[in-house]
Amino acid sequence: MEDKESANNSIKDTIKKKIKEKIKQELLDEICEELTLEEDELTEEISSMLTKKSSTRQIIKLTKIPTTNIIEEKKKVESQIEDEIQKEIYISVKAILKIASHALKYANSKIPRKNWVEVIGLLAGKLDNKTDVLNIEDAYPMGHGTAVYAEIKDYKNYARAFQDIKKQNLFICGWYHSHPTYGCWLSAEDMGTQARYQKLWDKSVALVIDPYQIDGKSTGFEIYSADLKNNTWYPMIYGIKGSLDIKMLPEILKFMNPILEGKAVYLEYDEE
C-alpha cells in the first residue's frame, strides 16, 4: 500500500514538474488552483492506471499549451465584457483619493469613535457630449458636521470653489459626503440635498463613501442619481479613469495619512 501511495505521489510530482517546465509563470496560479480542485479526481484516475498495469511504468505526455494564444484570448474576452458594460460615469484617481482622505480625516483611529463626523464636498467634471458620459475629474472638500449631518457652512467658500472649478474648465456636477462605517445609501436629508443639485443640473450625482469599506476588494463608495418625482434613488454604473489597483488602495491611503503634523493632505476652504 505504501509503495502504491509512493508511486501515486511520484506521478503527481512528475505532472507538476512538467507543468512548471511547459507553462509560463503568469498562468501557474490558475493551473495550480485547477489542480487543487481536481486532485481527488486525478488521484482516482492514477490509481486506476496503476491497478491495470502496476508493473509497467506509466509515461504521461503533456501537450504543449499555446500560452500566448491563451493570454491574448483572455484579454480579448475581458475587453469584450468591458465594452458590453456601458459606463455612465468615470471618476479620476485624483478625485477618489481626495474624497477618501477627506472622509478619514474626521473618522480615524486617532479620534474617539463618538467624535467621528461626516464630511461634504463638491464634485467637478465635464460631460462628453458625444457619448453622454460624465467624467468626474476632481473633488473639492468643503466641510464637515455631526455624526449624521454635514453641511457647507459658509457659502462664500462655495463661490470660491465655483471660481476654482471654472478655471479648470470644469463644472459642478454633484456632491459627495461620507458615511463612516455605516454603508453607502441616501438618507431623507441626503435626498433633499440631491434634489437641490439636480434642480441646478438634472444629471447631478451624489457620491457616498464609507472609507471603512475600502478593503482591497471595494472602492468603498457608490455614485447615485435620484428620481425626484418618485422620491427614489438608484446607483450609477461607474468606471475608474486612470491606473488604480483596488488591492493597493488601503495601503495608498495609509501612505497618504490624512493627518500629518496636524494638517490634512487636502484642506477645506476654511482651513486655508
Ramachandran sector of residue 146 (left: φ over 0; alpha: ψ -120 to 50; beta: rest): beta
Q: Give the C-alpha separation, 60 to 98, whole Å.
A: 56
Q: Give the C-alpha separation, 247 to 172, whole Å.
A: 30
CATH number at residue 223: 3.40.140.10
* CA dist 45 → 50, 112, 202, 220 (Å): 9, 60, 64, 46
Together in a domain, 105 and 218: yes
Q: Give the C-alpha separation, 167 to 165, whole Å.
A: 5
Q: Give the C-alpha separation, 269 to 68, whole Å.
A: 53
Do 236 and 88 meet the contact criterion of CB atoms below 8 Å apart? Answer: yes
Domain boundary among the residues 84, 114, 131 is at 84
Domain boundary among the residues 68, 84, 100 is at 84
Domain boundary among the residues 54, 84, 114 is at 84
Domain extent for 11: 2-84
Together in a domain, 129 and 233: yes
pLDDT per residue of the chain (272 residues) written in tens, 0 to 9: 556 566 556 666 666 666 556 555 555 555 556 555 555 554 555 556 555 554 444 444 444 445 555 556 555 655 555 455 567 999 999 999 999 999 999 998 889 999 999 999 999 999 998 999 999 999 999 988 865 555 666 778 888 999 999 999 999 999 999 999 999 999 999 999 999 999 999 999 999 999 999 999 999 999 999 999 999 999 999 999 988 888 999 888 887 765 544 566 667 777 76
Residue 73 has which C-alpha cell? 484570448
Q: How many domains does the chain have?
A: 2
pLDDT digits (tens, 9 = 90+) for 209-255: 999 999 999 999 999 999 999 999 999 999 999 888 889 998 888 87
Structure pTM? 0.65
Edge-to-edge, what's the strand order for the sheet holding 89-92? 232-235, 221-227, 205-209, 171-178, 119-128, 133-144, 89-92, 238-241
* CA dist 261 → 55, 111, 155, 258 (Å): 75, 15, 28, 10
Together in a domain, 68 and 200: no
Together in a domain, 94 and 23: no
Do 143 and 267 meet the contact criterion of CB atoms below 8 Å apart? Answer: no
Together in a domain, 20 and 111: no
Together in a domain, 145 and 214: yes
